Amino acid sequence: MNIEGWATTQQAADLLGVERESVYIYVRRLKDFPQPTKIGRTLLFDRQALLDWRKDHPARGKRDSPPA
């Protein structure tokens, strides 16, 4: 689905560099995470709101191995 200015859950995950399940967790747990609009069964996120949120919440670095 490609609606200009909007992103599906998978597109939001790709945009933020996280797994799709993480987006669902963010919606439920993070008060400042952009809330989606539901169209039928599809959640749509405002693409600019996601980019603004990411700017305020930089991605954490990933570890290659668990700490010793």
Q: What is the CATH number of the domain that holds 35?
A: 1.10.10
| Average of per-residue pLDDT across 39-45 | 94
Q: Give alpha helix (H) positions in 4-43.
A: 9-16, 20-29
Q: Where are the beta strands (DSSP E) in the chain?
A: 6-7, 37-39, 42-46
**Domain assignment of residue 61, yes or no:** no
Residue 39 resides in a domain: yes
Overall domain count for the chain: 1
With cut-offs at 50, 70 and 90, classify the pLDDT of residue 55. Answer: very high
Residue at 64 is within a domain: no
pLDDT higher than 60, residue 3? yes
Backbone angles phi, psi at 34, to 5 degrees: -55, 125
* 62 in any annotated domain: no
Span 41-67, mean pLDDT? 84
In a domain, 17, yes or no: yes
In sequence order, what are the beta bridge partners of 38? 43
Range of the domain at 37: 6-56
| Cα-based torsion angle of the residue sequence 41, 44, 5, 48 in order, rounded to the nearest 10 degrees | 180
Residue 1 — pLDDT band, cuts 50, 70, 90?
low
pLDDT at 64 exceeding the cut of 60: no
* Residue 68, in any domain of the structure: no
Residues forming beta bridges with residue 43, ordered by sequence position: 38
